[in-house]
Structure 1
Amino acid sequence: MAGGSKDRSPERLPLIDPVEFSDFLKSAQVMLRVIYAVVLRESRTRHGRSDLGYAWAIFDPLIELGVLMLVFIALGRTSPLPVPLPVFLLTGLLPFHFFRDCVSRGASAASANQALLTYPQVKVMDIVVGRVVLEMITACLVYVCFMVGLHYITGESFSSWYDHPTEMMCALLGIFLFGLGFAVFSCSLARLSPVWTTIWPFLSRPLWFTSGMFFVLEHLPNNARAYAIYNPIAHMIEWWRSASLPSFTSTVGSPTYVIATGAVTLFIGLGLDRLLNLVGHSDEPAS
């Protein structure tokens, strides 16, 4: 063609709308600020009102540890794994406490923060996430406190508590998703039926005995193991012990089951939250 003109290809539309992406970033920043504020507020209101507030996070598992050790000694039993008995018990107690507290804090997230929910920037799920983040931080700090305490009191080596840092980090992320999923589900269930906050403490008691805090799944009789493997909390504890204890690798526990259970409960909880908003049963102010 005269003049050497070139064919111009049609302009391509951007895959991501810059305006929508900018709005998304702003919403994400607001959500992160709210979650950070919730973590600070929860840490002060939950533990900062008394001198024993923070210490109770250590006293609670410490009391349970003492009771279990007395039972083991009275029955003449030792640790089922080649690790000291306190290490074995605490690697079960602390993950269970994290899960139990996530469900409890999730159930009361909306009812205990009605004043905070009057602000349009604050959503119920922001409070749930903030509470779970605080529970994870508390659990990690308590874990370190027991490591240091047993090291200086009994001479227990720090190497008894951890194996591969990468595996432990993956386990922590999986356990966080697990706790978050059940916390979101518990929150939506409590908003749908407030009696859930009364039922959960009774349900958590049998879970204390059946979730593998003082046994490992592979040592159970076949008929008992056939039922115990359906308990996702037991798999969560097995995953943590496999990641943290150098002398133990679970042949029964399934990290995939833990992640899948956490993802499913998170999906159901978010779906119920959406449904509550659509039908007008919401603790949040209308935008």
Structure 2
Amino acid sequence: MVEIPRRRAMSGARAQVQVVGALFMREMLTRFGTSRIGYVWLLAEPLILGSMISLMHALSGSDLPNGLPTFLFYALGYTPFLMFRSIVARGSNAVNGNISLLFHNRITLLDTMIARNLMEMMVCFTVCLLFILLGMLIFGELPHQPALLVAGWFMSALLAHGLAMVIGSAMVVMEWVEHLVHPFTYLMMPISAPFYMIDMLPQGTQEMLLWNPLVSIHELNRWAMFGDRVIPHYDLVYVLAWIIGLNVLGMAGLRMARPRLSLSD
């Protein structure tokens, strides 16, 4: 059994940026290959999924209040949730999927996690920007608060990143946790408000759902996009507390998980 070495002290941030950059390119090549079709599919997959979901709701014939465009409402609700689900599902496997790389003392578990999750985040951001561009060209819809909208996407990514680290470190100790990840992310969809506004629900249901920090993020995103045509319900302090808590817990978990890994696993 060959023990995995730890990274030696070096020029901290610069070294980590170099390592994460190299791992990011490796993730891109591993997942999509060297052909241009692979990189086209990188954007096409979430773009098609978001478009199909929004089209299904548009064809249902149910209008949204205050003239909200159905396509943008559902596409910009589903795509950030798709990012959250992808980061949690794929990011949590970064630990077991990159054990061989940890033989290099410049690479840490955190590096592999950041590289994989950064790729998922950039894909989502690009697709969301494409949806907004379509909204501007077709519907004449401009984001109400563009900076706040991007901040909401970042918060969703950071929340998912922290959760992925927690789950990834737990999988090192309890392998059965891996089988719960996909059901968990699918069960999160109906209680995270990607397809509906909290203001449409009874007071008791609103209070219950707002315990989920993703609900606040989706509510913030909708207000940042559509402005006063929606009545938002969110608590940014609560969301930031979840983000900080999960990321601190996740980094501590990765630190504890590393000594348990070996190249024979």
Fold equivalence (TM over 0.5): yes
C-alpha separation between the residues in 2 aligned to 1:41 and 1:104? 19
Q: Could you say which structure has the larger radius of gyration?
A: 1
In the alignment, does 2:53 pair up with 1:70? no
Backbone CA RMSD of aligned residues:
2.6
User: Greater relative contact order (Cα 8 A, min sep 6): structure 1 or 2?
Assistant: 2
Give the AA of the match of 1:107.
S
Paired position in structure 2 for 1:264: 245
C-alpha separation between the residues in 2 aligned to 1:64 and 1:167? 21
In the alignment, does 2:66 pair up with 1:87? no
C-alpha separation between the residues in 2 aligned to 1:91 and 1:217? 16
Tell me the secondary structure at the aligned position of residue 227 of structure 2.
coil
In the alignment, does 2:190 pair up with 1:209? yes
1:66-116 residue CA offsets vs partner (Å, 9 max, x unmatched):
245435533x41224532001111121111011111111221101111222
- Mind listing any 5+ residue stretches in structure 2 that lack a counterpart? 1-7
Relative to 1, partners in 2 of residues 1:34 and 1:250: Cα closer, same or farther, differing over 3 Å? Answer: farther
CA contact (8 A) 2:53 2:74 kept: no
In the alignment, does 2:265 pair up with 1:282? no
CA contact (8 A) 1:31 1:126 kept: yes
Paired position in structure 2 for 1:26: 11
Would you say how many aligned residue pairs link Structure 1 and Structure 2? 256
Out of 81, 99, 109, which is 1:124 matched to?
Answer: 109
In the alignment, does 2:36 pair up with 1:55? no
- Mind listing any 5+ residue stretches in structure 1 that lack a counterpart? 1-22
Paired position in structure 1 for 2:118: 133
TM-score, length of structure 2 as denominator length? 0.85
TM-score, length of structure 1 as denominator length? 0.79
Paired position in structure 1 for 2:140: 157
Greater per-residue helix proportion:
2
C-alpha separation between the residues in 2 aligned to 1:100 and 1:173? 14
